[in-house]
Structure 1
Amino acid sequence: MRTSFPGGTQEELAPGDYSITVGTGSPPNSGGTKGVDSVFGTITSTGGGRGSGSENDASNTGDGGAGGGGNPVGFRGNIPNTTPPQGAPGFSKGNPPAHPDQNTGGAGGGGGAGGSGGGTPGQPGTSPSITGGAGTSNSITGSAVTYAGGGGGGTNGMNWPGGGGGSGGGGSGAAGNGQGGDGSDGLGGGGGGGGGGAGANSGGDGGNGIIVARSPLTANITAAPGSNTISSQPDHKLITFNVSGTLTVDGYNE
């Protein structure tokens, strides 16, 4: 997750049309691809990394804005590097357990400040059910909303439940032959890991992202297509892009 609110550098938009990209989450059978980046002007929020699909997965295709959960090692977060960080690393699989059901896959890292959960980022988890990393809260809409929670890790058998999704729309991990929960659309939550007996494509879908911006009340602006909205607040206009589209700036009233 990337934000310039509050206190960050503002985008200055001259009259014209601006292409806005709202990132989509990666589906579980995507062949090892991360989520799609979201782009507004010069601000790019990198898509989250994919989750590991097998034992000893040492590729770097799980790196991303927030790292995907790895088996045996969690993938890197905040790739490319930004300040403040846009995401945390994914968690590693569980420690070799006394019970085979505890042999979990890793959970996804949270967006933004992210990084709470059942394991230390980049290290073996200590819990049989690893919770996804927490996302980041932001109040640009006028109330606090948490975005970009990591997906929970899945477990091998039915005696241990999958890990819960991280706050901010992360999907829950599954147990046994279960399908991981989907991440929440509009929050950019990570998909939960599938159960160990459910096959390679049993993870949940990553949630689609969202782009929220503020403009002066004096701005003459429109957003397309119609599922994207502009609303007038007491001291600003609130722009919400739920899908990719175009922001048109016609100018500013004196």
Structure 2
Amino acid sequence: MTLRIGISARLLHQPPEGLGLPQKRLQFLESTMAHWIMAHRAIALMVPFVDEESPLSANRAPMTEIVDLLDGLVLQGGIDICPETYGDTLRDPAWAGDAIRDRYELNLLRGFVEAGKPVLGVCRGAQLINVYFGGSLVQDIPTLRPGSAEHQDTSRYDRLMHDVHFEEGSLLHRLYGNSAPHRVTSIHHQCVDRLGEGLAVEALSPQDGIIEAIRHKGSGYVLGVQWHPEFHLSPGEETQGLLDSGPMMLDFLRAARARADRHQSGAAVVHAGMPLPTRT
């Protein structure tokens, strides 16, 4: 069975002129994210947002049915998370984020976590995982963590890079097999502040101690990385020496495959007239 991986949608509430869709909200995914998933023989399927204020929302499929159709979830990067979403006060209008997208993705994330299906969060997605488990964010690293390394440069975008260090005994340490620093992309001005309940730190920036990856310690598979592994696929001199994104995706898909196989085995038992084992 080919795995079906859901990707949360990016939202563009006010499309620029010239796209031919004035006053229409757009939903999209960044193509390299789909390529990263599909390069490993899985299908990437964007999960559209349904406007909660639309009369159509009353007839939409329940979240449980959407989750049942998919084998795992990838949370895309993008705009900031609204500070009010994690109980903080906005410090600067430029960091207001998108509360609408927050509610949509948190509902989606909750569905997969409760179903025990694997989740991989990228950049904003890692921050959202931290917020979901009760954590908070640093709204702006340069302002609130003065002296930190540079983590975002709009002029270079995905060509700004720095090292990360995987914590001893972490999932990423096991996947990549050594404790040497690894080179990754860096496109964020926000980061994890207070760590969410049940989360473990997977990686740090050795220059300033900024948290670069987190994982939930409970049952299931929930991993968030602050960098963009999907951007490491782009060929060119700039990407030489960057962390290989393959092992991370393969591990996520292994978890999705294992969860799907357990579900199929349980369905076979029910079909034979025996009770389904308790879902974990």
Q: TM-score, normalised by structure 1?
A: 0.32
Q: TM-score, normalised by structure 2?
A: 0.30
Q: Which has the higher helix share?
A: 2
Structure number with the bigger relative contact order (C-alpha 8 A, sep ≥ 6) is 2
